[in-house]
A = this chain, B = another copy of it.
Amino acid sequence: MGIYKTKQKSNVLKILSDNIDKELTISQIKEIADQMDMKLGLTTIYRGLDELEKMNQIRKTVRPNGEAEYQLVQEECFHHFHMKCSSCGKLIHLDCSEVDLLMEHISKKHAFHIDSISTTIMGVCDSCYREEAN
């Protein structure tokens, strides 16, 4: 991550790893940093995340309103899809052999090379679906 090792960069990484199960927006990261008295400037957060993205250490997705959100990727993330509930925001890592087969099918029969990090299957998770039914 860059050339120098700084407190700010490790703080950005810490916030991301403390929230490994969530996708965080820049402003959420800023808020968390403020709460922890980290003194992280907005610009620094943007630049730190850019570096991490170039090193493929984070997944960047863009919300419908144009705001970006970020999440530290784990090794498995390169090999599975992510499903996101548009109602509660929950992110589900889809480890499933049937999905693997489909990715292979798409690669071989449709000649398309999927980038699973950039792909998010959108929808509604079961608990939100039941709530909406009420």
Interface residues of A (CB under 8 A from B): 60, 62-64, 66-68, 83, 85-86, 92, 94, 96, 98-99, 102, 105-106, 109-115, 118-126, 129
Contact = CB atoms under 8 A, between A and B. Distances in A.
B99 A125 contact: no
Q: Top 8 A-B pairs ranked by shortest CB distance?
A: A111-B126, A118-B122, A66-B66, A114-B123, A62-B62, A113-B124, A115-B123, A102-B102
B119 A121 contact: yes
Contacts of A129: 113
Contacts of A115: 86, 122-124
Contacts of A109: 96
Given A62-B66, A98-B102, A112 B123 contact: yes
A125 B115 CA distance: 11
B120 A119 contact: yes
Nearest to A129: B113
A103 to B, nearest CB: 9
B123 A119 contact: yes
Nearest to A96: B110
Contact of A105 (B67, B98, B121): B98
A126 B99 contact: no
